[in-house]
Chains A and B, each alone.
Chain A
Amino acid sequence: MKTRKNWFAFAGAATLLSVSLAGCGATSAAAGISSYSSRVAASSKPHRGGTVTIAQVGDAITLDPMLTTDEYSAPVEQLLYNSLVKLGPKGQIEPDLASSWNISSNGLVYTFHLRSGVTFHHGGTMTAQDVVYSFNRIMSPKLASPWASFFSSIKSVSALNNSTVQVTLSTPNSPFLTVVASFFVVMNPSFVNANKGNLQRVEDGTGPFILQKWIPNQSITLVRNPHYFIKGEPYLNKVVFQIIPSSTSEIAAFQSGRVQFAEFINPADYAKLDTMARAHIIVAQKEISTDYHMLGFNTKWGPFKNPKVRLALSYAINRQQMLNQVGFGQGAVTGLITEALKNWAIPTKDYPSYKTNIAKAKKLLKEAGYPHGFSFKIMAPSSFPVDESNAVVIAQQLKAIGVKATVVPTEWGTYLNNWVKRSFESFTGENGDWTDPDLAMYAALHTGGSTNAFQFSNPEVDKLLQQGRTELSYKQRYQTYAKLQKLAVSQAPMLYLFASYNTFALSPSLHGYTYVAASPFAGLQSAWLGKSK
């Protein structure tokens, strides 16, 4: 029986399309966020020991969380460092290094009460002064942290005593705690100074694991922090990030038992993962991404100046078909905010232009003065297969309304250069919401925003964005962002298409792992290795 199972997995992995594809795609797309292979009954109790090897496609670039922008450094840092607060599985704010906090009624003063007895990896107890130092570091022009702008609302940070930190803002900033949870970490000042501020290859965090060895382009080994502030955790003795550049080889590594954890983001791999999950070689956990695929317009270029033209294109395309063809049905059609931010996303049936309507699209084009259509180019990043394929499918679909789109596959560096210079007519790519609607959206849609490559400008949108970041109650903010989502879809600076699943593959022997969208790898601190059957 064993060899037969193995053979199935082999055949599934070797062929790109397996029968499983159609069947599984349909059910999971309907279910939204789902975990499609029920976990092996977690009967075993947590116990210490063992090594978990994580397969990762690329090497970390830096271990300085304040300078990290790449996707391979963050997973390691999530196990090394802590912030004052963290995000829970439902997006709620939870204690981390701060055991509690108060916010003044005007939303300007945040007081954090620190957990006692937290030590850094190389020794020394964490104090309020260290927290103040860390805030100053991320805001310092000398460091030039790419995340500094998120902290620009801070007026002052001070230590009230050894275990209390007070942050004063100049304007109310409702996502502030989310920003702290997502982009801030507490560092040890004497260690930073001893390393002349260069923390690219060294660390002295407070996290559950300690950096032991880093062999560039091969592996990063972390060992258990015996003094971690949560008693008993972590359970694992070692976590190894193993660089395996090809996802086929990653899957093979699960098969041979060399790897116990990995994240897969390419929909083309999902058929193989399904097959392996059914053969109980892995447990696959599918989570909808906070990122969505989109077609962005240059709203200063020709026909795209007219919102009616952009809306016409929104009516003309078929998003579900795109998801099925390009995304193998593994994901969900989305607006400006994906289902991953469950507290904020509104259902896509609220968007009239999401129902394909060729007649309506033609009518809008006619009103805009393009009764016979027009031609334009789509810049598509060739290193991102989903975005490149989306461009091709869009070009195909737009033929129905007489609009001729030419796909220009573009190397990533060149693509970014064009993006920075705003020298494109339209482009496909990914955009995202991170952990709060304000974070990515403000810069992307506000007039003159730094990531507003669309050069989109709409006074109503600007007003709502400003409102959303200063309102304090969740209910008010929800209303504002609901309005904003509808407006962003009808104004269409970009066509939001769909969000894919990120699939986390776990060895069946790995227990106790909890997924948190903001920091999926941090969940390994409470995981342990049991006997796989």
Chain B
Amino acid sequence: MALYALRRLVIAIPTLIGVTIVVFLMVHLIPGNVVQIMLGTRTDITPVQLHQLYRLYGINRPLWEQYWLWFSGLVRGNLGFSLRTGLPIAALIGPAFVVTAELAAGALVMAVIVAVPLGIVAALHQRRILDWIARGFALIGLAIPNFWLGTLLVLATSIYLPAFSNFNYVSLFAHPLGNLKDMLFPMVALALSLMAIITRMTRGAVLETLKLDHVRTAHAKGLTPMAVNIRHVLRNSLIPITTIVGLQLGYLLGGAIIVENVFSLPGMGQLVVNAVNQRDYPVVQSAALFIAVVFIIVNLVVDISYGFINPTIRYQ
């Protein structure tokens, strides 16, 4: 299996090089550049000064040269520097990713804890009252956009639970309790729609499994319904659930821009959107590449986890 993982990582390299080219071209081919945005429509400037600025930011060089500059830096492990702030990009991505990762992981754990039992209960009580409740909940969760829920949570907490109203992000490592207090509501805002998706997925997968022969056999050999449901039904339904959870995690780690915005969390979404608006090319490029790497790793972990869920799966 180690060999399998290694091979997958090696195959990922051409993908990543492709990502660097696509991302680079995309950010450079959209109109507008960092100098134009810095100057806006009201800065009185002479052509000579303008030329100086273009030289200062290195954007008057040919595209291939700019690409090579960035790419050769990457190979040497240097993500580059932000054009606007001059900060090393690694120092920008690091803290932003910690925020996003915590938010994503928290929301997902919350969603799974609620959604998987709910999905199972719904499936076991198919077309009965509990099923209707679970499905109703899922429908509501899908229908409520997280920006609306987030805004309401911000307003409601600021009035009724001022202690939980945040805007002053503190790191998980420095102040674990303060951090969890601040992250609780953003996680809820993000978790609701995830819960809905996972509930529906679990219900569907469990319903499929319930119809299989080995479940009937398990019942026939006298196992308690609880044992059948946990050991034979749930376990065999886990593959599609794991797949969807993995995919969602991949997306979430790219940054949940709207929830981050509403709750003032300095995460990846904010970082990338601000950089795009500023045309801070190196930040956009390196952040997008970083997200691509994370996505590939998450997918790999999901693939490997299939083998633990279902030992009949072989990696070659």
Contacts and interface: CB of A to CB of B under 8 A. Distances in A.
Contacts of B277: 383, 412-413
Interface string B137-162: 00000000000000110111111001
A248 B168 contact: no
B150 to A, nearest CB: 9
A133 interface: no
A442 B44 CA distance: 9
Contacts of A369: none
B238 interface: no
Nearest to A6: B159
B222 interface: no
Contacts of A218: 169, 266
B220 to A, nearest CB: 57
Contacts of A431: 41-42
A61 interface: yes
Interface string B259-275: 01111101000110010
Interface stretch (B82-90, B103-111, B115-123, B188-196): B82-90
B30 interface: yes
Nearest to B84: A61
Nearest to B86: A200
Given A419-B41, A451-B41, A252 B158 contact: yes
B262 A249 contact: yes
A243 interface: yes
Query: Which of B48, B56, B155 neighbours the largest number of chain A CB atoms within 10 Å of its CB?
Result: B155
Nearest to B45: A450
Binding site of B, secondary structure by majority: helix, strand, loop or mixed? helix
B165 A450 contact: no
Interface string B277-310: 1110000000000000000000000000000000
B39 interface: yes
B155 A453 contact: no
A73 to B, nearest CB: 10
Interface in A125-161: 141, 144, 146-150
Given A146-B45, A219-B168, A246-B262, A13 B40 contact: no
Interface residues of A, number: 65
A176 B278 CA distance: 32
Interface residues of B, number: 53
Contacts of B12: none
Interface in A438-462: 440, 442-444, 449-451, 453
Contacts of B44: 149-150, 440, 442-443, 449-451
Binding site of A, secondary structure by majority: helix, strand, loop or mixed? mixed
A149 B56 CA distance: 18
Contacts of A432: 42
Contacts of B279: 413
A39 interface: no
B256 to A, nearest CB: 13
Contacts of B52: 141, 144
Contacts of A242: 167-168, 264
Interface of A: 6-7, 9-10, 13-14, 55, 58-59, 61-62, 69-70, 141, 144, 146-150, 198, 200-201, 215-219, 242-246, 248-249, 252-253, 255-259, 383, 411-420, 429-432, 440, 442-444, 449-451, 453
Given A217-B271, A451-B41, 13 more contacts: A149-B46, A216-B87, A243-B264, A252-B154, A252-B157, A253-B165, A412-B32, A413-B277, A416-B37, A431-B42, A444-B42, A451-B44, A453-B41
12 contacts: A148-B49, A201-B87, A216-B266, A217-B271, A244-B264, A249-B167, A252-B165, A258-B167, A412-B277, A414-B30, A420-B36, A440-B42
